[in-house]
Chain A
Amino acid sequence: MTTQPGEQTHIVELLRSRRETALDRWTELAGAELRGRLSRGELRGELDDLLSLMLRALDGPDAEAAHDELTAALSEMSRRRARQAFTPTETAFGVFALKQVVYELVTESGSNRPRLTEELMAFSHTVDELGLLTFETYAATREQVISDQAEQLLELSTPVVKLWEGIVAVPLVGTLDSARTQVVMETLLQTLVDTGSLYAVIDITGVAAVDTEVAQHLMKTIKAARLMGAECVISGIRPQIAQTMVALGIEFGDIVSKASLADALEYLLARSGVRIVREEAG
């Protein structure tokens, strides 16, 4: 912060002497639209803490330490706002509103001090910096939330299921992108090791489209499984996808492809020496 302690004495005095009024007004402005995400009391408590730290940072014996604390408290508040689904504007406005509060206080006091304009400018600058800090923390937190969710979604959407002793399947649904396919590949191969399964089915019945990169990933999975001593079968390639793959020049070479998951299971049961016999009725 560029502000030197003592530079804003009048404003600090005003905020100290009319603290409750200032807090009420700040809470009112910052909490115009809380929509139940936060109670007014909670908000006032937060702002109260911020105000104390700010006053100490502006004009206290431990200004520097207080400033660090203030930065930390603001960042923490912005992180909470991001998780409470406040918009970045709402979050930053909560801080900027303090300028309005101070301006009103100064006007009301009717003060006519010589350096008042400079003081107000400096104060406004300080609040701007704090507001921007809020914004930055907010954005970083949102990014974190989004990437966390994307990761959770990845985990959720790639279940590997056991079909039979030694046979696992991964039913893929939706849009396959490169990142997700890669996760599927790794999960599937690890499951082969963990369960000691020799056979795997990659079922793409529920997949809308396959591009070159995704097809390459599938191919690599199958090759990697082979290197590990396991065998992968693909099932449920839809006609459109088959056509796309041919058009893209993707060759599946000597890879086994079956029409449905059931066909693939039947094939692999036979491979592992299991015979299915229908019992005679009667």
Chain B
Amino acid sequence: MTDAHEIRHEIRIATGDDIVRIRRAVRTVACAARMSLVDRTKLVTAASELARNVIGHGGGGTVRIERLISPSGVSGVRMVFEDAGPGIPDVRLALTDGWSTGQGLGLGLPGARRLVDEFDLQTVVGEGTRVTVTKWTR
């Protein structure tokens, strides 16, 4: 498909105000991918959680938001959150409900994972973390 990556945003994540901008961008892309209201809400919420994670634990970073079209023609949205923070020493623990190093509820990563279809976390201690999530249009 030629227009698979036609919509693409790259947004810096530094302060709380950026979170609102990211939510708006994700909503636009999710609309373009013709997601249902519920799926759109889930995706925007996941983006919000992950962006908070980047600020709270990664010391800021970036997010890339793009529209996807799978080989079989299914529409979707992919978001890649990257930070150059301290990394996560114990990934399994970080993906457990209720576990948090910040002052949050510890729902960020595990909660966001439940809101999307695909979730991939790459982290190197001392170098940073990259979370890639994808949600497909049902």
Q: Which residues of A contact B (CB under 8 A)?
A: 140, 179, 186
Give min CB distance, A147 to chain B, whole Å: 10
Residues of A with C-beta under 8 A to B38: 186
Distance in angstroms between the alpha carbons of A186 and B40 in the assembled complex: 13
Residues in B neighbouring A186, C-beta threshold 8 A: 36, 38
Q: Closest residue of chain A to B73, judged by CB?
A: A140
Nearest to A151 among chain B residues (CB) is B138
CA distance A144 to B73 in the complex (A): 11
Query: B36: which A residues are within 8 A, CB to CB?
Result: 186
Leading 4 A-B pairs by shortest Cβ distance: A186-B38, A179-B138, A140-B73, A186-B36
Give chain B nearest CB distance to A153 CB in angstroms: 15
Q: For window 51-90 of chain B, which residues contact chain A by CB distance below 8 Å?
A: 73
Distance (whole angstroms) from the CB of B135 to the closest CB of chain A: 14
4 cross-chain CB contacts under 8 A: A140-B73, A179-B138, A186-B36, A186-B38
CA A140 – CA B138 in complex, angstroms? 17
User: Which residue numbers of B lie inside 8 Å of A, CB to CB?
Assistant: 36, 38, 73, 138
In the assembled complex, the Cα of A186 lies from the Cα of B38 at a distance in Å of 8
Chain A residues in 8 Å Cβ range of B73: 140
* Chain B residues whose C-beta falls within 8 Å of the C-beta of A140 in the assembled complex: 73
Bound complex: CA A152 to CA B73 (Å): 21
- Closest-by-CB residue of A relative to B72 is A143
A45 and B8 alpha carbons, distance in the complex (Å): 46
Closest to A185 in B: B38
Q: Nearest chain B CB to A66's CB is how many angstroms away?
A: 23
CA distance A45 to B73 in the complex (A): 33
Contacts of A179 on B, CB cut-off 8 Å? 138
Query: Which residue of chain A has the shortest Cβ distance to B36 in the bound complex?
Result: A186
Chain A nearest CB from B51 CB (Å) reads: 23
Q: In the complex, A153→B94 CA distance in Å? A: 41
In the assembled complex, the Cα of A186 lies from the Cα of B138 at a distance in Å of: 14
How far, in whole Å, are A98 and B38 apart by their CA atoms in the complex?
Answer: 50
Closest Cβ of chain A to B127, distance in Å, is 37
The closest CB in chain B to the CB of A140 belongs to B73
Minimum CB–CB distance for A278 against chain B, Å: 44
Q: Which residues of A contact B138 (CB under 8 A)?
A: 179
User: Chain B residue with minimal CB distance to A144?
Assistant: B73
Q: Which residue of A lies closest to B38 (CB)?
A: A186
- In the complex the two chains form, what is the Cα distance from A179 to B36 in whole Å? 13
Report how far A186 CA is from B36 CA in the complex, Å.
Answer: 11
How many Å from the CB of B14 to the closest CB on chain A?
Answer: 32
What's the least CB distance linking B20 to chain A, in Å? 23
CB distance from B54 to the nearest CB of A (A): 27
Separation in Å of the A227 CB from the closest CB of chain B? 13
Nearest chain B CB to A150's CB is how many angstroms away? 11
Complex-state Cα separation, A140 to B73, whole angstroms? 10
Closest CB-CB distance, A212 to chain B, in whole Å? 15
Q: How far is the CB of B133 from chain A (nearest CB, A)?
A: 19
Q: Provide the bound-state CA to CA distance between A140 and B36, in Å.
A: 22
Instruction: Tell me the bound Cα distance from A140 to B74 in angstroms.
Output: 12
Distance in angstroms from A184 CB to nearest chain B CB is: 12
Q: How far is the CA of A105 from the CA of B126 in the complex (A)?
A: 76
CB distance from B73 to the nearest CB of A (A): 8
For residue B33, give the distance in angstroms from its CB to the closest CB of chain A.
Answer: 16
Complex Cα spacing A145 to B67, Å = 25
A214 to chain B, nearest CB (A): 17
Closest CB of chain B to A93's CB: distance in Å?
26
Q: How far is the CB of A194 from chain B (nearest CB, A)?
A: 14
